Structure 1
Amino acid sequence: MINKKSIGIFDSGYGGLTVFGSIADQLPDYNYIYFGDNARAPYGDHSYETIYQYTLECVEWLFAQGCPLVILACNTASAKALRTIQQKVLPFKYPGYRVLGVIRPTAEVIGSYTVSDTIGVMGTRGTVNSESYLLEIHHLYPEIKVIQQSCPMWVPLIENNEHVNEGADYFVRKYIDNLLEQSPDIDAILLACTHYPLLIPKIAAYLPEGIQLVAQGEIVAGSLKKYLANHPEIESQLGKEGKMQFYTSGDDQDFNKHASIFFPKEVVSTHVDLKV
């Protein structure tokens, strides 16, 4: 019998598709189920309790679809829900299941991107206010100074496909200037939201020479590859037919249309009703 269990990939909306694209590129043989909670996106300005509840509902839905491993391809969910799910839910309710995030893998390698030991982190309010990157990076690289900047307008601009227009430049430049005014020593900027890679051309246009932009897709994909190699008890459960399924709590036709901005292949999704 062929085991067809899938790797679940979750995001509050479309941004996780940028991570999924890198994962599928590095690990093309596995089966995947992507779920976007578009009906309740964006998560960035919600409370901890709300983000945790929404994330848990989506993770449990992916478990029910046969995903023994779920990747939270969302910085806000990783910052505000991952640890509680790992420590207080999985051991008691879902032993044998695993949920991973995007913050730890990124923090593990961020030291290789800076010479000045000063990095900038740009993310949603939820991610920045959680201070998750400050804590993780300080734990791994106590010598690195982390400067944070929330960018509350970037996700709405991207999700409404306004990021390519000139009007977006004002908000791109505003948040970059706010970040760089905090320290002249920043030589690397982490885009701590999976939506933000779509803004890289505009961001790069307003950055001084010598500052490196760090996106998470390749980092998370490489980390997942190592994880599967080191955890045969999970890897052996996964089907390898190269299948991809897409689901959204929002409008499926709208999801398909917008997904093409984030994902390199055609996306055909199915609507799912979740408890709201």
Structure 2
Amino acid sequence: MSGPIGVFDSGHGGLTTLAALRARLPDRPFVYLGDHANAPYGVRSPAEISALTQASVERLFAEGCELVILACNTAAAVALRGLQEGWLAREHPEKRVLGVFVPVIEALTGRPWAADGPPVDLAGLRIAVFATPATVASGAFPRELAFRARGVEVTQVACPGLVDALEEARHADARELARGFAQQAAGACPERAFLGCTHYPLVRDAFAAGLPEGVEILSQPDLVAASLADYLQRHPQRAGHGAALTCLTSGDPEAVSAAARALTGEDYRFRPA
């Protein structure tokens, strides 16, 4: 029988995705790995991000995971394609590592990722994307969106310091930063907003406060959970059954567990990775 589903993030942000996945798939086991010792990833070089991501995916494979979700948008933007086409294809062709951009782009375009045909015409749609500096610099989101849709106006806003504030439980600072970053995009009059880092839903209301009234904020965790449920219907062999949860960290387990409780209100018990 296949093992648990791996969920990887650079820190606590992926817990927002984990919660949505467990709510949608309560009969599937999960292993969460946070690379807290090396967070945040958003200010690191592409080479560093790729190396750290590969090491964490390898650790999840060692836990028996046949399927790993890169809940970290920075890792998905910077490292995923290279890992899929290189190391994974060579060393682990039987395993799968999936990113978190695909479900968002499918929701925006209204078409499955693998659908053939010309790009969907979304002329006039304005979307604001808030992400880490590394994700913005990669250009991954507008590039992937452009393959599947045309006419979309994308405003990207890099959000330095926001992940640090959330990881350090500086809630007031994080909310002030989020509201300020949202205000930077307000002049573009976006219709939709994408919080392109799994940490950012923790201050979703602060982003909303800085955006014009009526802007729809896409829920990436819910979209990822729905997409994974669909994937497992088509590939049920990719994950085992049961409600077990294991939480691993490269950081200090007691400190990480305490910070996770402060951020989410849930009692996640981390152990050393």
Deviations along 1:191-214, one digit per CA (max 9) or x if unpaired, are: 000000111122222222121111
* Alignment correspondent of 1:128: 136
> Which residues of 2 match residues 42-61 of structure 1 at below 5 A?
42-61=40-59
* Alignment correspondent of 1:222: 226
> Which residues of 2 match residues 126-275 of structure 1 at below 5 A?
126-163=134-171, 165=172, 167-181=173-187, 183-184=188-189, 186-234=190-238, 238-263=239-264, 265-272=266-273
TM-score w.r.t. length of structure 2: 0.91
Structure 1: state its 5+ residue gaps: none
In the comparison of the two structures, how many residue pairs are matched? Answer: 262
Q: By how many angstroms is 1:111 displaced?
A: 3.7
SS of residue matched to 2:256: helix
- Residue pair 2:14, 2:72 contacting (<8 A) in 1 also: yes
Q: By how many angstroms is 1:36 displaced?
A: 0.3
**Structure 2: distance between partners of 1:94 and 1:169:** 41
SS of residue matched to 2:68: strand
Q: By how many angstroms is 1:116 displaced?
A: 4.3
Alignment equivalent of 2:25, drawn from 24, 27, 37: 27
* Runs of 4+ that moved beyond 3 A: 167-170, 261-265
SS of residue matched to 1:266: coil
C-alpha spacing 1:173/1:268, structure 2 compared with 1 (3 Å): closer
Alignment equivalent of 1:70, drawn from 62, 68, 71: 68
- Residue pair 1:13, 1:38 contacting (<8 A) in 2 also: yes
Residue identity matched to 1:161: A
**RMSD of equivalent CA atoms:** 1.7
Identity rate, percent: 37
C-alpha spacing 1:170/1:246, structure 2 compared with 1 (3 Å): closer
C-alpha spacing 1:69/1:169, structure 2 compared with 1 (3 Å): closer
**Structure 2: distance between partners of 1:245 and 1:265:** 14
C-alpha spacing 1:155/1:63, structure 2 compared with 1 (3 Å): same
Q: By how many angstroms is 1:169 displaced?
A: 4.7
- Residue pair 1:256, 1:267 contacting (<8 A) in 2 also: yes
**Structure 2: distance between partners of 1:44 and 1:169:** 18
* Alignment correspondent of 2:119: none
TM-score w.r.t. length of structure 1: 0.90
**Structure 1: distance between partners of 2:83 and 2:76:** 10
Q: By how many angstroms is 1:20 displaced?
A: 0.4
Q: By how many angstroms is 1:241 displaced?
A: 1.7
Structure 2: state its 5+ residue gaps: 111-121
Q: By how many angstroms is 1:143 displaced?
A: 2.0
Deviations along 1:177-227, one digit per CA (max 9) or x if unpaired, are: 22223x23x111100000001111222222221211113100000010111
